[in-house]
Amino acid sequence: MNEDDDLARAIALSLQEANDSARSRRQSYHTEHDNGEEAQDDEERRFQENLRRATEASKHEQARNATSPAAMRPTSGAATRSFLVDRAQLEKERLARQKRLRPQVEMRDHDYDDDEVDGHKAKRQHVSLSAAVRCTNKSASSSIASRNAPVASGSNVQISSKSTGTGDDGCFWDGELRQTANMHTVPAKDTRPTFRLTEILAPKDDIEFAIVSAYVFNFPWLYDFFSRTTPVIVVAQDSQGQATLKAILPEWVKTTPFLRNGMGCMHMKFMLLFYRSGRLRIVVSTANMIPYDWRDIENSAWVQDVPKRRSPIRHDPKADDFAAALVRVLRSINVGPALDNQLKNDHPNLPLKSLEEIRTNWDFSKVKARLIASIAGKHEGWPSVVSTGHTALMKAIRDMDGKADKGKEIDLECQGSSIGTYSTQWMNEFYCSARGESAQTWLDTPKTRRAKLPYPPVKILFPTKQYVQESKLGEPGGGTMFCRRNQWEAAKFPRELFHQSRSKRGGVLMHSKMILGLYRRRSGTDTHSYSESEDEDDNEKTQGANKLLGWLYVGSHNFTPSAWGTLSGSAFNPTLNIMNYELGVLFPLRSEEEVAQMTCWERPPKKYVLGTDEPWIQSESPAFVLV
């Protein structure tokens, strides 16, 4: 059953009736002022009744079309039920279209395993009823911890002394990176400020316009976070991978980007919030728009407010700064037509009249983070290749003078929720970009030599089965962690690179996706940490606090070829193939304190004891049953 058709049927009554009533209310307010309050009360009652009927219709429609009655059983509450239903439906549709389209797919340009696309094959599984009940009982006594310690800021990654990290006006003018609030953490360990969705979207009545993107949505839940009169553009995924545009709720329009051959996924998680005061709030997160991701599992969010310019600057089509990259991202995911639709219909006075105005009308001068995007598709030629995927990461590292040369090497810790299919060639390809090394160097290396390279110094962080079992929610909480048995036991799979992923806040699993790169000095076969306390040549002593210790990526990218892309072609004519739409931000790190505060896992991570430690594989858990 098509997700858009389900939703359209579910909200049909609400959409037409509420819009008609709203127009009638605006007209009658001026002509019948004495009866205005009564009319408004009647409209409010009608709207609430329509929304209630729409929600109930959606639930009944999903129940009627489910492939298994067990799939719709009550589990551990509304959040878990929504999480299971929405993700399972998306996964079934993705698998169905891939099965249908597989004979048509051209695979010569890449070696992707389509089952590896962000690990979503496992999302067709559901928590069993008994396991969910145990999960609910186990977490009933949990409480949210206090938030009083300093937090890392997203500008120059300064350390804020305020408990909130905000300015006096409640804005995040220097940028802020935090973990999301969670009801299952260990209070003694959960001492830093966090983000709640209500805080990010506050005050909701001041939001004039919003653009929201995620892979999974619970629309009735999210709808309540916004004023009913606020126009919203939702970026999601079409079940067939087509670019579409549809009205889904009063004042809400849903747009979906094109996916080549219907494969891959629209995995970006971000928000652009335009306030009546003129400021623009940018939010890049790892969380989907469902209660589960903002309450039961740990995610990350970066928030920065940007002021409106006194007067617009001239449009520069050659710009490659944060704002220009953001405009390119919005264009690639089909936001342009959605914006035009809103302007031409009920909202001609939106604060944004064209995508280019994001850069010309708002001042991004205080944004120090770099925007890293993956755009699904085949990208050819250097200008296109270096603007997306792991080569965009390479360019951003070089732009902040982070190339690992002059005897430096870099160690990577890659933390995420899905495991990919790794070859030594792809790992070294990514590592080349992570060092800030030009992709031309990689493409000039003979293919025979590339295939024989050993694995680079990369630590892959993923939770062990034991850690999942001991977490607050137990095995039923492992529904967003994806690794397959055939991956783990493959003859050339890099099991020796695996390290434990354990939250610093204790007791929870992490849906956050981070990559930490730390430089170290290379001296023959002897290597050691590259830190501020060591003797530094090449005038590095004069750099002081500005010396780069490393960098941190935070966003939607898991450490997989599908998310970051696979490079091919020649140094003269490169090609980058990417399966997914992804988005994240890159921060420079200049102190050990910043490293400790901004990373979300226990460091140093413990290496798997092979033969004893195994990764969490949800398909082997009795808490999950196949539909």
Residue 240 predicted with pLDDT over 60: yes
Q: Over range 240-256, report the average pLDDT.
A: 96
Residue 555 predicted with pLDDT over 80: yes
Asked if 347 contacts 231 with a C-beta cutoff of 8 angstroms, the reply is yes
Residue 465 predicted with pLDDT over 60: yes
Residue 294 predicted with pLDDT over 60: yes
Q: Environment class of residue 191 by beta-carbon count within 10 Å: exposed (0-12), middle (13-18) or buried (19+)?
A: middle
SS3 per residue for 477-523: HHCCCECCHHHHCCCCCCHHHEEECCECCCCCCECCCEEEEEEEEEE
DSSP structure string for 239-305: TTS--EEEEEETTEEEEE---GGG-S-B---EEEEEETTS-EEEEEES--BSGGGGTTSB-EEEEEE
Q: Give the per-residue pLDDT at 405.
A: 80
89/570: higher pLDDT: 570
Residue 318 predicted with pLDDT over 50: yes
Q: For the segment 66-99, what is each residue's pLDDT rounded down to a tens digit?
A: 333 333 233 344 444 444 445 555 555 555 554 4
Q: Which helix (H) or strand (E) holds 233?
A: strand 232-235
Q: Give the per-residue pLDDT at 595.
A: 97
Fold of 371-620: Endonuclease; Chain A (3.30.870)
Q: Over range 563-568, report the average pLDDT.
A: 97
The strand order across the sheet containing 377-380 reads 377-380, 574-578, 566-569
Asked if 36 contacts 592 with a C-beta cutoff of 8 angstroms, the reply is no
Q: Over range 265-275, report the average pLDDT.
A: 98
Residue 427 predicted with pLDDT over 60: yes
Residue 290 predicted with pLDDT over 50: yes
SS3 526: strand
pLDDT band at residue 38 under the 50/70/90 scheme: very low
Q: For the segment 191-200, what is each residue's pLDDT rounded down to a tens digit?
A: 999 999 999 9
50/526: higher pLDDT: 50
Binding-site residue numbers for substrate are: 269
Q: Give the per-residue pLDDT at 13.
A: 43
Task: Tell which residue, 470, 481, 540, has the closest CA to residue 506.
Answer: 470
Q: Give the per-residue pLDDT at 78.
A: 45
Longest alpha-carbon distance in the chain: 86
pLDDT band at residue 126 under the 50/70/90 scheme: very low
- Tally of CB atoms within 10 A around 97: 18
Q: Over range 9-17, report the average pLDDT.
A: 46
Q: Over range 498-517, report the average pLDDT.
A: 97
The answer to whether residue 528 is catalytic is: yes
Cα within 13 Å of Cα(548), Cβ side? 22
Return d(Cα 94, Cα 240) in angstroms, integer. 8
Q: Over range 312-323, report the average pLDDT.
A: 94
Residue 456 tokens, joined: 């680079």
Lowest mean pLDDT among 15-29, 337-351, 459-473: 15-29
Residue 9 predicted with pLDDT over 80: no
Give me the percent of the chain exceeding a pLDDT of 70: 69
Return d(Cα 182, Cα 184) in angstroms, integer. 6
Backbone angles phi, psi at 459, to 5 degrees: -105, 120
CA distances from 361 to 218, 252, 321, 327 (A): 32, 24, 14, 12
pLDDT band at residue 524 under the 50/70/90 scheme: low
Asked if 162 contacts 595 with a C-beta cutoff of 8 angstroms, the reply is no
**pLDDT averaged over the chain?**
79
Return d(Cα 473, Cα 457) in angstroms, integer. 33
Return d(Cα 541, Cα 110) in angstroms, integer. 44
Task: Tell which residue, 20, 17, 84, 26, has the closest CA to residue 52.
Answer: 17
Residue 535 predicted with pLDDT over 90: no
Q: Give the per-residue pLDDT at 111.
A: 30
- Tally of CB atoms within 10 A around 533: 7
Helix and strand element counts for the chain (H, E):
18, 24
Q: Are strands 498-500 and 458-462 parallel, antiparallel or unpaired?
A: parallel
451, 457, 462, 464 alpha-carbon torsion, rounded to 10°: 100
Q: Over range 94-116, report the average pLDDT.
A: 38
Per annotation, catalytic residue among 110, 267, 379, 511: 267
Q: State the helix-helix crossing angle for 322-332 and 335-344, rounded to 10 degrees.
A: 80
Query: Residue ranges of the domains in the chain?
Result: 1-65, 371-620
Q: Which residues pair with 209 in a beta bridge?
A: 274
pLDDT band at residue 49 under the 50/70/90 scheme: low
The answer to whether residue 267 is catalytic is: yes
Q: Over range 205-210, report the average pLDDT.
A: 98
- Tally of CB atoms within 10 A around 442: 21
Q: Over range 294-321, report the average pLDDT.
A: 96
Instruction: Please name the amino acid found at residue 583.
Output: L
345/57: higher pLDDT: 345
Place of tokens 């492992």: 478
